[in-house]
Structure 1
Amino acid sequence: MPEISLEVSLGVPGEFPEAAQDPQNLSEVCETVSDHTASTEESADRLIEGCVMLMSEMQPTHPDILRGIRVSRVLHSSVCAWMRGNLEQIQELSQVTTQLDEFWSHSWQARLWLKYVSILYRSNGTPAFILGSLSSLVAFSLKVAGAIGWVGACTLAGAAGYYLTLVMWRPRTQVFLDVACVEQVDPNLKTQGLMSMGAFLKASKSLVIFWDTSFVSRLWCLFEMAGFMHAQKLGASRYLEVCPVFVGPALLCGNAGLCMMFFIVIIAEMDFASLNTDIGLVLGVVGLMLLCLTSLAYVVLSHCRSIDVMQSQVRHFTIEHSSSQCCADEHLTSTGERIICDREIILRCISTWFGSPEQFEEMVRTKLLKQLVHQLANRTFSYWRIVQAASPVMWIYLDWIFPPDYLLVGLLRMCMYWLTLVPTLVLVSLRLAYSVRNLCHSVFARILISMLLVANVAFMVAAFFALEVYVATAISPADSERLTPVATSIVFVAMGVVTTLLWCCLPPIQAPTSPLEAD
């Protein structure tokens, strides 16, 4: 009979209920898994039993198998090696640990550059925002002191500080990333790492899912998430984060689009401090918004449609139809060696952890579906993420509120547009995009609706500006050339109330309770 080896595909999860541990028995299991060659069906069955027991105990085959890698090394040291397929070099960047800050789960089918930008923005976005804002404030102080005189200095300093920090910041968070923390070259160590996946999850404080539409179809990816929720019970939602891989690129696109638009505004010397702004300049800004932000609206529409795709996938999820790499390879290695089906191990573990495969499928279709829809529909574009992405609004207002006689009104308008108007417009646009997502069956329709969404935002901005003019004129008819602190304060307070009510009281999008509602 041909030799059978246990070689499971990368990504097999493991998060299971605690079980009583027999150190002597567990040691025997670890020894069995370490020597993962079987020449008979009986020894292959014994090997599978050992793997199932080890995974159920959530223990590593040996202490040194638990490894982590710092996010700074993922962003700056391992990317080139990963793209070249130099797995040994990636392994050298990880280190033995007993605790992980995060467990990163992802589909290998997702594009590498999308995952990289998403990781970059998620890890460095907040430091970039803080240092970019500080750089802009420093430039503003120098302008007030008369050290610099260019009108766009604050915007330039903010953008430079933001993007330099985004690229160069080195976070120290320690995470599990399969390609770095599980041996990829030595088959023996690789198997031990995969069979210790439960120990990796047990040692992790939180689970981060880098999401794309292929995630649900991958049994191992979905199993990691469901297993984590099962182990954490009611507290799972606090430690589970679903991060779509397009979020980083989309928010960076929005930030860069605003920077580009404001740089053009500065170069064209448009003055929005005056209420009598030329209509041609306003139309020019509208055109810039269409040019710079339509791509962002297109991505948002695609995201809304992907939520429907995800709901359909999860609602009809069955283990039988989920993909497995070993089955796709017909249980053969690249050299033609026969391997044991990892699906068999997963099914037996599922029966142990969830009672039966059917109960696991029911949990995925109900509890997990609800959690996924909530995170993807309501938490992907949070208020804080929008404020960070819209930071160029603050930078350009620091340029516009100079000279000092416009300081108070300028600061009020900066906070009003940046902290209230922009987040409100984005929230309304997100809900509109979700409402019309089913009208975007073709690329042309998606582009057209994206342009309409951006045009709607431009219209709402113009309407808000007209409201400012009306309030200013009604309160100070004799001084209708410029906004006054009283008029600006009134509009600011009103807009703050509207923003608070929308973000705090608007009902969240929820998963339909039946397939008919989903349709």
Structure 2
Amino acid sequence: MPIATVPVNDERTIVQLLSAIVFCALVVAIAVASTVRSYFRDLDTMKLQLLSISLDSTRSSCCDLHHVSPSGERMLCDRKIVKECVKIWFGSVLTFEDTVRTEVLDILNRDLTQKVFSTPWALGVTSPIILAFMDVSASWTQADHPWELWEHPAVALLLEGLMIWFLFVPANKDLLILLLRLGRRRPRGTCLELLKNLSVLAAAAVPVLVLVVAYGLTRFADRAVFDTENVMLRAVGFAFCTVLISLCNFVVGLGLKAVLRRPGW
């Protein structure tokens, strides 16, 4: 955030500030990608454990002691007590095991994937983006600048920041999480692991690069389409491009979700 507190007088400075922000984000992106992929591998382990759950194969400490206390007295079997309780609650042990393998597994899978990396979480993590746009926008509200809402560069810049933060970030977050989940398997070797992290990040960076190109092209949209210079027209054009890119991310995400639902993924 300190890099965004300096006065900004032109769009070149904005590009420089955004480049610095992207570079800082890239420093930690590889470690974050590796951590999230490891998280999804742990979820796979949990799923396998729940799918193979069986009360008949469980053991209790009393079973290891052959149901005899250190003082020589007979002990009740905790496993048998639990099985009787399960029969009372679920009707049978088989029904309980089926419930764990289906309903409980679905709930955990949904809560530990969709609700952990939620949109409010993403907006909170990336809140410095909108704060930076607000800071830079405030730098353009000079007292001697004519205050016309439709033509004021500060308002246009704030609109662009809101579109990036509130619309593009959640859509790209969903795409990134799906790509990390799709490429969660760990390859052999540290170098291959690093390359896989870079590959996933590169795939997720494609919409970001498209957004940057769209931002550059919309700088000329007002003169090319309306033959006039108006910063708000540029902002509206950029907002339209942001909506299209976010929709493309959503469609690609639907395809990745369909792939992840297939057996073996």
- Superposition TM-score, scaled by structure 1 size: 0.41
- Is the counterpart of residue 461 in structure 1 residue 208 in structure 2? yes
Give runs of aligned pairs for residues 367-406 of structure 1, distance below 5 A: 367-401=103-137, 402-404=139-141, 405-406=152-153
- What amino acid does structure 1 have at the position aligned with 2:80? E
The Cα of 1:282 is off from its aligned counterpart by 6.6
Q: Taking structure 1 as reference, are residues 360 and 323 closer, same or farther at Cα in structure 2, changes over 3 Å only?
A: same
Name the CA distance, whole Å, in 1 between partners of 2:246 and 2:70. Answer: 58
1:417 aligns with 2:164: yes
Q: Does residue 1:287 correspond to 2:23, yes or no?
A: yes
Change (3 A) 1:369 1:344: same
- Quote the residue 2:11 is aligned against: 274
Partners of 1:391 and 1:472 lie apart in 2 by 25
In structure 2, relative to structure 1, the CA distance for the partners of 1:488 and 1:467 (3 Å cut) is same
Shift in Å at residue 386 of structure 1?
1.0
Secondary structure of 2:114's counterpart equals helix
- DSSP 3-state at the match of 1:379: coil
**2:264 maps to what in 1?**
518
Deviations 1:441-492 (A, max 9, x none): 555544433333334444532321111111221332599xx98211212322
Amino acid aligned to 1:434: R
Compute the RMSD of aligned alpha carbons: 4.1
Whichever residue aligns with residue 264 of structure 2, its letter is: A
For 2:45 and 2:166, the matched residues in 1 are separated by: 33
Change (3 A) 1:452 1:509: closer
Partner of 1:124: none
Instruction: Note the 1:89-488 alignment, pairs <5 A.
Output: 262-263=1-2, 265-266=3-4, 274=11, 284-322=20-58, 324=60, 340-401=76-137, 402-404=139-141, 405-440=152-187, 444-476=191-223, 484-488=231-235
Distance 2:71 2:11 in 1: 74
Q: Which deviations, in whole Å up to 9, do the C-alpha atoms of 1:150-182 show, x marking residues without a partner?
A: xxxxxxxxxxxxxxxxxxxxxxxxxxxxxxxxx
Greater relative contact order, per chain length (Cα 8 Å cut-off, separation 6+): 2
Q: Deviations over 1:322-364 (max 9, x none)?
A: 5656657877889999764432221110111112212211121
For residues 190-248 of structure 1, the C-alpha deviation after alignment (integer angstroms, 9 at most, x for no partner) is: xxxxxxxxxxxxxxxxxxxxxxxxxxxxxxxxxxxxxxxxxxxxxxxxxxxxxxxxxxx
Partners of 1:354 and 1:360 within 8 A in 2: yes
Identity %: 21
Distance apart, 1:309 and its partner CA: 1.6
- Could you tell me how far apart the structure 2 residues matched to 1:286 and 1:494 are? 20
The alignment covers a number of residue pairs equal to 251
CA shift digits 1:487-518 (9 cap, x unpaired) = 21232244246546829x937958988xx923
Residues 59 and 79 in structure 2, CA contact (< 8 A), matched pair in contact too: no
Q: Does the C-alpha gap of structure 1 residues 276 and 385 become closer, same or farther in structure 2, counting only changes over 3 Å?
A: closer
Cα distance in structure 1, aligned partners of 2:94 and 2:12: 65
Matched residues in 2 for 1:423 and 1:317: separation? 36
The one-letter amino acid of 1:362's match is D
State how far apart, in whole Å, the 2-side matches of 1:334 and 1:403 are.
80
Tell me how far 1:414 sits from its aligned partner. Answer: 1.7
Is this contact kept in 2: 1:413–1:492, CA < 8 A? yes
Give me the whole-angstrom Cα distance separating, in 2, the residues matched to 1:394 and 1:420: 12
Describe the superposition over 1:410-429 as per-residue Cα deviations: whole angstroms up to 9, x where unpaired: 21022111111211221111
For 1:468, give the aligned amino acid.
Answer: Y
Please tell me whether the aligned partners of residues 374 and 511 of structure 1 are also in contact (alpha carbons under 8 angstroms).
no
Q: Is the 8 A contact 1:393 1:414 kept in 2?
A: yes
Partner of 1:506: 254
1:290, 1:451 within 8 Å by CA — same for their partners in 2? no
- Following the alignment from structure 2 to structure 1, what is the Cα–Cα distance between the partners of residues 160 and 70? 64
For structure 1, the 5+ residue unaligned runs are: 1-261
> Which sections of structure 2, spanning at least 5 residues, go unmatched?
142-151
If the length of structure 2 is used for normalisation, what is the TM-score?
A: 0.74
Query: Which residue identity is paired with 1:403?
Result: W
Look up the match of 1:192. Answer: none
After superposition, the C-alpha distances for 1:380-410 in whole angstroms (9 at most, x for unaligned) are 2111221122111122112111222532112
Q: Is the 8 A contact 2:207 2:245 kept in 1?
A: no
Q: Is the 8 A contact 1:297 1:450 kept in 2?
A: yes
Matched with 1:133 is none
